[in-house]
Structure 1
Amino acid sequence: MPDIAFHLNAPDKLGYTCRLLRKAHARGARVVVFGLESELTQLDQALWRLEGADFVPHCGDSAPSHVQRASPIFLTAQVPLRQDFEASVLVNLDAAVPEGFERFERIIEVVTAFAPEVAQARVRWKAYKSGGQEPYAHDLDQIRAPKA
């Protein structure tokens, strides 16, 4: 059963995802990022703009197969999620629960405070729960809040 974490109140979805992917890459994780093509294009561009030491090697569906095999981060909008890209982590940027999520050890749902996105996250939370999963919330507002 995968570990499902909802990272709530992300102030900047793409910026937060870049930091998340940088940390995952530093730890040697292989990651699939699922989302809309337009959002993945923006993420791809943001990842290319990271400074030298922060570079995160990544590719998408259009990359040649040898590049996909060598890349630790794979960006995709295809459903169902491809089985041939071996990864332990799924980062979901989409409004829906991606088909095939069960094969991952860890799923991270990145959610901003934008009301429609929060509503979509609630639907995904309920879908995971109804499927027997136990998601948990990781509230980024609580991390950023100053301690008294």
Structure 2
Amino acid sequence: MTEVAFHFNVPDKLGYACRLLRKAHAAGGPVGVVAPPETLRQLDVALWSFSALDFIPHCAAAAPADVLAATPVVLAADCAALPHAGVLVHLGAEVPAGFERFERLIELVGTGDDDRAEARQRWRHYADRGYAIQRHDLASAGG
């Protein structure tokens, strides 16, 4: 069963996603990222520019098969477009259809009221289906 983790009170979701993806890339596992198209575009730009010392190899799910096979971080608007990956990072509002095929799902939740309300709905969805949920509150962890 997929492990679900919510990271709450993320002040800068794109910056946090970049750091999270850098950590996942360093650990060596493939990672899928699912988000609305505009968020994916912003994340793509952020991954190229967030650190002068780090490069996180990434591509869109629509890339040629040989590029997908060689790229550890793949960005897509929905899970169906992603190749197999152990970790799925979710930056959207709705429960990502097909999340069950990933070993781990990481939900990033910002500080805004709308983002938190949408996260509560997703939390209920996972809890109602018996998923164990880990909670990481960045506000109480000091960031």
Aligned residue identity for 2:38: S
Q: Is the CA contact 2:15–2:50 (under 8 Å) kept in the aligned structure 1?
A: no
Aligned 1:48-59 pairs, distance under 5 A = 48-59=48-59
Query: How much has 1:137 moved relative to structure 2?
Result: 1.1
Per the normalisation by structure 2, the TM-score is 0.94
CA-CA distance at 1:52 after TM superposition: 4.6
Matched with 2:12 is 12
Counting matched residue pairs gives 143
Residue type matched to 1:47 in 2?
L
Shift of 1:113: 1.0
TM superposition shift of 1:103: 1.2
**Percent identity over the alignment?**
49
Distance in 2 separating the partners of 1:92 and 1:81:
13
What's the counterpart of residue 80 of structure 2? 81
What is the RMSD computed on CA atoms of the aligned residues? 1.4
Pairing of 1:1-148 with structure 2 (within 5 A): 1-78=1-78, 80-82=79-81, 85-144=83-142
Output one character per residue of 1:37-59: Cα deviation in whole Å (capped at 9) or x when no partner: 00000000000113353110000
**Matched letter for residue 70 of structure 2:** A
Match of 2:23, as an amino acid? Answer: K
Amino acid at match of 2:74: F
Amino acid paired to 2:2: P
Unaligned runs of 5+ in 1: none
What's the TM-score, normalizing by structure 1? 0.91
Matched residue type, 2:44: D
Residue 98 of structure 1 deviates from its aligned partner by 0.9
